C-alpha cells in the first residue's frame, strides 16, 4: 500500500521552478487532456528530442509528470496529486490576497 507523504516547501518550490519555462508550460498544457507519446510531444512543440527530453526530465524530477514505456515508445502524463498540491497552494495565496484587499490592504496591522 502506498502512503501519501506531506509536500514540503522545497517540493513546491521545485515544482514551481519546473513550470517557470515556456516550453514546460506548453508540455503541461498538452498533457492536460491525457497521456501523450513523446513522439507526439516532439511534433506538437517543434523541438528536437534532446531538448524535449531535458524538459520532460525536469518535469519528472519535480514530480509533475510520470512516464510509461510501451515497447520502444514512452508516454507521459500529469501526476494528479502534484497538480492538486499546486492548486491548493495557489488557492491559499488567492484567499490570503483577497483577505488583504477586503481588509483595506492593511494585512500587517
pTM over 0.85: no
pLDDT digits over 58-100, tens only?
A: 999 999 999 999 999 999 999 999 998 888 888 877 777 777 7
Checking if the pLDDT of 44 tops 50, the result is yes
Domain ranges of the chain: 10-98
CATH architecture of residue range(s) 10-98: Orthogonal Bundle (1.10)
Give the pLDDT band of residue 29 (cuts 50, 70, 90): very high
Instruction: State the SS3 of the chain.
Output: CCCCCCCCHHHHHHHHHHHCCHHHHHHHHHHCCCCEEHHHHHHHHCCCHHHHHHHHHHHHHCCCEEEEEECCEEEEEECHHHHHHHHHHHHHHHHHHHHHHHCCCCCCC
**Tell me, what's the pLDDT at 93?**
72
Amino acid at each position: 500500500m502506498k502512503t501519501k507523504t506531506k509536500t514540503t516547501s522545497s517540493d513546491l518550490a521545485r515544482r514551481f521552478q519546473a513550470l517557470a519555462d515556456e516550453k514546460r508550460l506548453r508540455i503541461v498544457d498538452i498533457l492536460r487532456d491525457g497521456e501523450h507519446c513523446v513522439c507526439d510531444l516532439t511534433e506538437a512543440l517543434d523541438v528536437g528530442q534532446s531538448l524535449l527530453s531535458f524538459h520532460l526530465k525536469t518535469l519528472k524530477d519535480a514530480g509533475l509528470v510520470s512516464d510509461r514505456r510501451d515497447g520502444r515508445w514512452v508516454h507521459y502524463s500529469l501526476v494528479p496529486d502534484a497538480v492538486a498540491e499546486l492548486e491548493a497552494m495557489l488557492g491559499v495565496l488567492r484567499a490570503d490576497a483577497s483577505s488583504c484587499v477586503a481588509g483595506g490592504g492593511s494585512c500587517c496591522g
